């Protein structure tokens, strides 16, 4: 992200280190699920959790040789874990980790956006009530039109952002989808069972292994397998853009009304006194 345009909470989600931390969260979820199923000794999982570590410098050095970011990441982890590292990434392919971890980062970013939209709605609602009886000139293409009240503008914005909030809520479940590539064995780690009961984690997979991993990461795996489809990624980026464009439009509208040529905002302030 461009630093000067980034707010600190959102910027913390985007550094390279945060991406690797999300990768490890997915890897660890798979290990814990396999240990619970008895596929690996529980003490091995505990040892891996305690000893695994990495640094950006080490990963960069290894990647310069192997030319593969996931292999570099796993190689560095293996240095600290030792022989038990053979259980890490077993039966997985790179996209099982990349897509699932990316979904986790998107989930955290969406949570921040939801908080921001809720705060904006409170502000718009408060201003709508504050200026509900404040008369101002209505305009169309900058030209005087019928009189209106300044509070109506904020009321309309609050209503618009309520729709943005609804869109984000609706897309939130679709955001939390990882990958189950045919090139890896995440698809075959579990036997077919009935639908999981992990409703709190919104798991829709038909395998208990998917459900176990998903419940640990709040990320579900598509029942049909396959990678994180591009339409889901478009969904992720498209829906927040509604709120982003809406915020920019409100900024331009208010800044325009603050110009000396129009003076609508200052007129509204004086009319409310």
If pLDDT is split at 50, 70 and 90, which confidence band does 148 have? confident
Burial of 72 (0-12, 13-18, 19+ CB in 10 A): buried
pLDDT higher than 90, residue 14: no
Q: With cut-offs at 50, 70 and 90, classify the pLDDT of residue 147.
A: confident
* Pairwise CA distance, residues 211 & 218, whole Å: 10
Classify residue 203 as left (phi > 0), alpha (psi -120 to 50) or beta. Answer: beta
Q: CA nearest 29: which of 16, 13, 48?
A: 48
| 86 & 102 share domain | no
- Pair 43, 98 in one domain: no
Residue 195 confidence (pLDDT) = 32
pTM (predicted TM-score): 0.67
Contact 158, 216 (CB under 8 A): no
Q: How far apart are CA 170 and CA 112, in angstroms?
A: 16
Alpha helices in 82-193 (DSSP H): 94-130, 150-175
Tokens (6 digits) for 225:
């397998």
Q: What mean pLDDT, rounded, does the chain reach?
A: 75
Residues 147, 253, single domain; the answer is yes
- Structurally, how many domains does the chain consist of? 2
- Of 65, 90, 115, the residue that ends a domain is 90
Domain residues for 69? 1-90
CATH number of the domain within which 40 lies: 1.10.275.10
Tally the residues of the chain.
Answer: 273
CA torsion angle 267 268 270 273 (round to 10): 170
Residue 266 placed within a domain: yes
Q: What percent of the chain stands above pLDDT 70?
A: 62
Residue of 191 and 72 predicted with greater confidence = 72
Q: State the CATH number of the domain containing residue 115.
A: 1.20.200.10
Q: Compute CA distances 159 → 15, 253, 261, whole Å.
A: 34, 16, 29
Asked whether residue 2 carries a pLDDT value surpassing 80, the answer given is: no
Tell me: do 86 and 96 sit in the same domain: no
Note whether 21 and 39 are same-domain residues.
Answer: yes
Distance CA 272, CA 129 (A): 12
Q: Are residues 112 and 79 in the same domain?
A: no
* pLDDT (mean) for 2-14: 78
Q: Are residues 49 and 115 in the same domain?
A: no
As beta bridge partners, residue 135 has: 149
Of the pLDDT bands very low, low, confident and very high (cuts 50, 70, 90), residue 106 is: confident
């Amino acid at each position: 992200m461009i630093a000067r345009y980034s707010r600190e909470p959102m910027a913390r989600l985007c550094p390279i280190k945060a991406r690797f931390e999300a990768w490890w969260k997915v890897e660890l979820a798979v290990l814990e699920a396999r240990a619970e199923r008895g596929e690996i000794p529980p003490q091995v999982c505990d040892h891996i959790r305690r000893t695994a570590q990495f640094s950006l410098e080490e990963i960069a050095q290894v990647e310069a040789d192997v030319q593969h970011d996931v292999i570099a990441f796993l190689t560095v982890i293996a240095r600290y874990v030792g022989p038990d590292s053979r259980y890490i990434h077993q039966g997985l392919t790179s996209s099982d980790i990349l897509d699932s971890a990316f979904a986790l980062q998107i989930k955290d970013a969406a949570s921040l956006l939801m908080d921001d939209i809720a705060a904006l709605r409170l502000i718009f609602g408060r201003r709508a009530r504050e200026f509900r009886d404040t008369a101002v000139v209505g305009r169309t293409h900058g030209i005087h039109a019928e009189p209106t009240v300044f509070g109506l503008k904020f009321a309309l914005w609050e209503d618009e952002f309520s729709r943005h909030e609804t869109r984000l809520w609706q897309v939130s479940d679709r955001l939390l989808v990882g990958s189950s590539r045919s090139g890896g064995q995440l698809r075959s780690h579990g036997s077919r069972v009935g639908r999981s009961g992990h409703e709190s984690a919104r798991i829709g997979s038909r395998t208990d292994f998917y459900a176990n991993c998903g419940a640990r990461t709040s990320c579900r795996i598509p029942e049909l397998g396959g990678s994180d489809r591009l339409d889901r990624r478009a969904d992720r980026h498209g829906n927040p853009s509604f709120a982003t464009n809406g915020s920019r439009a409100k900024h331009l509208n208010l800044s325009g009304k603050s110009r000396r040529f129009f003076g609508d905002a200052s007129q509204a302030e004086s009319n409310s006194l």
